[in-house]
Amino acid sequence: MDSLSMKFLIVNGDDFGASCGINHGIIAAHRHGILTSTSLLVNTPWSEEAAVLARAAPDLSVGLHVDLMSDEKKPADSSISDDTCRAELHAQLARFQALMGGPPTHLDAHHNLHRHPRLLPHFLEVARQHRLPLREHSPVRYFSKFYGQWGGQPHLEQISVESLARMLETEFGEGITELSCHPGYLDADFSSGYSAERETELRTLCDPLLGRVLAEQSIQLINYRHLGELAVDLPA
């Protein structure tokens, strides 16, 4: 049987390294829930702590979450130069390797800025050079509906256990899917427009109902390290 005719799920927590609470929330979602993978911000005051936690979790795949934001309110996608983008990609990749002692398992970007048409070719080039799956540009399908906010308003019902169970039952087909998530604990000293939602996500990801739904739907949890075993083609 072709392995890709089966259903595989990578549950990836973005923003690893963004704060102490997010670091520990992601690890909790991995140890006690269905999270299998994460993406690391490498240039924050909490990046080193995240790396230490990740090294103690050998079944967690860790990718590079490239940060090209000039600040949290003004993305740099329209102002960053090509040279700066290339330099940041290589510098952050080197920083990742210094923190983790090895290369990332995958590549994505904070606020998905790799989607910008002018920046995307630089991400694709790094992905090709290092044979890394880049979000939305690999055989792994990206699923982003598990998110508890739109229009600047919280929608916790979208990230409830019942909502995620419904998604698993109706929206996950054959092949490999990455479910993006943002679990974490609240930090009094960390400001974010997506805060209380993170704790809701964490509770949902750790709910035992999801394990039963995955079994019923014959969905197998994997991480990005398993792509080689599944003979997934990566950029050459």
Domain boundaries, the chain: 3-227
Which amino acid, one-letter code, is at 166? R
CATH for 3-227?
A: 3.20.20.370
Give residue for tokens 């906010």: 149
Residue pair 15/180 in contact by the 8 Å Cβ criterion? no
DSSP 56-91: T-TT-EEEEEE--EEETTEESTTT--HHHHHHHHHH
> What global pTM score does this model have?
0.93
Number of other CB atoms surrounding residue 39 within 10 Å: 27
Q: Is 221 helix (H, G, I), strand (E, B) or coil?
A: strand
Q: What is the pLDDT along the chain (236 residues), one digit of tens a residue?
A: 455 669 999 999 999 999 999 999 999 999 999 999 999 999 999 999 999 999 999 999 999 999 997 555 455 556 788 999 999 999 999 999 999 999 999 999 999 999 999 999 999 999 999 999 999 999 999 999 999 998 889 999 999 999 999 999 999 999 999 999 999 999 887 888 898 999 999 999 999 999 999 999 999 999 999 998 887 777 65
Structure letter (DSSP) for residue 178: E
Which element (helix H / strand E) includes 127? Answer: helix 120-130
